[in-house]
Amino acid sequence: MVASAPFSYRGQGFSLRGEKGRFVLPPSFRKVIRESSDDQRTLCLSKHERFDCLTGFGLSRLPQLDAQLDREEDRAYQAGRDFDRDTRSAQLFGFAEVPFDDSGRFIMPDYIVELGHVGEQLYFHGGGQFFTVWNPEKLFEMGPEWEAAKAACKAMMADSAKGPAKGRGRK
């Protein structure tokens, strides 16, 4: 059974592709996914419908997707527009369920890699009920409304270039 409380993804994260092609889910996002999904380690990934990135969320979002489908159908009916519930349902529920380990390591399916234009780096950005997952190059193509995300991504990229001991007091 999936938790019904509202959960929120906040903040940012960054990951380099590691050995065996794995990325690492930021700890704060990993925690929300597990807490909201009855301790299951399942990352749901899909292509964002407007931006050139991916969306990520936990299993707790499933009831929200059902409610979204109902709202969209009702709005279309009220406006006198056609609504193809089967197609929209396939779009909303066509996400990949990707397992991750206790350290947050996961491997994306090849088709998700292609949809998200995934390279060797990922930037994660909180968005409330979901988070976005960006190839930094695609994020940097976004308009000025994304300046804060771009700045955070650039800073995290610079930190990752300094190596794992950066900022941890190691000599």
* 9-44 CB burial, b ≥16 within 10 A, e <16: beebbbbebeeeebbbbbebbbebbbebbeeebbbb
Tell me which amino acid residue 5 is: A
The letter for the amino acid at 43 is L
Residue 117 pLDDT:
96
Cβ atoms within 10 Å, residue 63: 12
Cα separations in angstroms, 30 against 25, 51, 155, 159: 6, 23, 21, 21
Q: What is the pLDDT of residue 170?
A: 33
Using DSSP's 3-state secondary structure scheme, residue 157 falls into helix
Residue ranges of the alpha helices (H) in the chain? 27-36, 62-79, 85-93, 110-115, 136-140, 147-161
Structure tokens at 78: 């009220």
- For residue 100, the model assigns a pLDDT of 96
pLDDT at 171: 32
Ranges of residues in the chain whose predicted pLDDT is under 50? 1-3, 166-171
pLDDT at 5 (0 to 100): 54
- The domains of the chain, with CATH numbers, are 12-161 (3.40.1550.20)
Nearest CA to 155 among 165, 144, 143, 166? 166
Owner of token pair 């406006």: 79
Residue 126 tokens, joined? 């909180």
Report pLDDT digits (tens) over 69-114: 889 899 989 999 998 888 887 887 789 999 999 999 999 999 999 9
